[in-house]
Structure 1
Amino acid sequence: MELSNLSLFALAALIMVLTPGPNMVYLISRSLCQGPKAGLVSLVGVVMGFVLHMLMAAFGISAFFLAVPIAYDALRFAGAGYLLWLAWQAIRPGSKGAFEVKDLKADSSFRLVWMGFLTNALNPKIAIFYISIFTQFLDPENASVFAQSITLGIVQISISAAVNATIVFSAALVYSFFNRKPTWTKIQKWVMASSLSGLALKLAVEERK
């Protein structure tokens, strides 16, 4: 895969993991209620969920591209539209911030992993990412779609795991900061919305090489 294409995908994966969603809310809530160790154990389950999404996408997308070669453009525009929808969700009236968390009771390690896995496996944000945005970085004429899918999946999982681990360890500090300075919550939402919109525009207008 071309380095420029892989770099753009890494940026997309980074923006997606920084966008508030079920995984982030669950890991922050768990870390605040039960400590960083519980947050990391929960992250193991979340990563397992990513692996499930990756494998399903790798097998499904490979078959799809072989059956419908013109699907690339359709998925490209669908992915751009989804990014714009996420941008709107970040700034729409009444939208919640990443650190508006839930109170959770203490759970065993097994349950922490299981709940982390379910939270991610049933996460529509990740499912749509792998179906629509993920496919825009694949080139059926360049190499095996399956091999490219696995490569992109490993990049996405590595970035998500690293960012989420950082969030787990800094959850208490960042939670306190955003609650004391609500203006920064609004800034975070607009920065995220702008990043998502810019990425959507780039992906929509950029033709496949």
Structure 2
Amino acid sequence: MTGAAPIHLLGFGLVSLAMVLTPGPNMIYLLSRTLCQGRRAGLVSLAGVATGFVCYMLCAALGITALLLVMPYAYDALRAAGAAYLLLLAWQAVRPGGRSPFELRALPIARGRRLYLSALLTALLNPKAAVLYLSLLPQFMTPHGDVFLQSIELGTTQILVSLTVNGLIVIAAGSVAVFLTRRPAWVLMQRWLMGVVLLGLAARLAFDRPR
């Protein structure tokens, strides 16, 4: 069985890091929950977010594997669809009047299972996670290798990156919130940074030859 190449694991890890460092639904939820209920609630929520990523990883691994076996040209279709979607996201990020997803909010107190399930739902509905697993992950795989194994390896890399960064954010939630709220220019900068990153990824998907 052929797993993911080290260079592909590194590349996907860097993309995952760039995505998780840009304020989005998961980061905002974890920050908001931690500030409202404390660090323990934030860590329970982080477990829910991690479970959501595992669900995405398994669905992507099974779905992409089946698709590439049934349709020889599915790789090209995924690449084209991914490029188009990334271009749309890039435009939404930089268009005049565009809004950042960054907005801390007050959350109702939740306990136990409800706390975990709320975080899980937030992760499952996160469009950035969908982009990573449905559009970007296939671009770091070798279609002639073991697609399922590569999907698991790449997905595990993303989950480890996300858990590390978001775990640090939960631990330092107060300082992170102060940093973001006192620097309104950060909102504009992260929109343009994300737009440029997405545009570059879209170009890569559109013009790269299948491996």
Same fold by TM-score greater than 0.5:
yes
2:132 aligned partner: 129
Q: Identity percentage over the alignment?
A: 51
C-alpha contact (below 8 Å) 2:90/2:198 kept by paired residues: yes
Aligned equivalents of 1:95, 1:32: Cα separation in 2: 27
Of 79-88 and 48-57, deviating more is 79-88
Q: What letter corresponds to residue 189 of structure 1 in structure 2?
A: R
- SS of 2:210's partner is coil
Residue 199 (structure 1) aligned with residue 201 (structure 2):
yes
Residue 160 (structure 1) aligned with residue 162 (structure 2):
yes
5+ residue gaps in structure 1? none
Of 111-120 and 74-83, deviating more is 74-83
Of 184-193 and 90-99, deviating more is 90-99
- SS of 2:143's partner is coil
Of 82-91 and 37-46, deviating more is 82-91
C-alpha contact (below 8 Å) 2:60/2:151 kept by paired residues: yes
Aligned equivalents of 1:57, 1:187: Cα separation in 2: 31
Residue 105 (structure 1) aligned with residue 108 (structure 2):
yes
Aligned equivalents of 1:25, 1:205: Cα separation in 2: 34
Q: What letter corresponds to residue 195 of structure 2 in structure 1?
A: A
- In 2 relative to 1, CA 193–125 (structure 1 residues): closer, same or farther, beyond 3 Å? same
Q: What letter corresponds to residue 23 of structure 1 in structure 2?
A: N
Q: How does 1:134-145 map to 2 (within 5 A)?
A: 134-141=137-144, 143-145=145-147
Aligned equivalents of 1:82, 1:8: Cα separation in 2: 20
Q: TM-score, normalising length from structure 1?
A: 0.89
**Deviation readout 1:74-104 (Å, 9 max, x if unpaired):** 2112222222222223233444435412211
* Equivalent residue in structure 1 for 2:95, among 92, 101, 116: 92
Aligned equivalents of 1:134, 1:204: Cα separation in 2: 15
Q: CA RMSD for the aligned pairs?
A: 1.9
1:36 is displaced (CA, Å) by: 2.3
1:25 aligned partner: 28
C-alpha contact (below 8 Å) 1:15/1:196 kept by paired residues: no
- SS of 2:195's partner is helix
Of 78-87 and 92-101, deviating more is 92-101
2:151 aligned partner: 149
Q: How does 1:112-123 map to 2 (within 5 A)?
A: 112-123=115-126
1:13 is displaced (CA, Å) by: 1.6
1:37 is displaced (CA, Å) by: 2.1
- In 2 relative to 1, CA 93–171 (structure 1 residues): closer, same or farther, beyond 3 Å? farther
* Equivalent residue in structure 1 for 2:15, among 12, 16, 20: 12
Residue 182 (structure 1) aligned with residue 184 (structure 2):
yes
1:63 is displaced (CA, Å) by: 0.7
Corresponding pairs, count: 208
Q: What letter corresponds to residue 195 of structure 1 in structure 2?
A: V
**Deviation readout 1:178-207 (Å, 9 max, x if unpaired):** 322212321222222222222222232221
* Equivalent residue in structure 2 for 1:79, among 79, 82, 87: 82
Q: What letter corresponds to residue 184 of structure 1 in structure 2?
A: W
Q: What letter corresponds to residue 47 of structure 1 in structure 2?
A: A
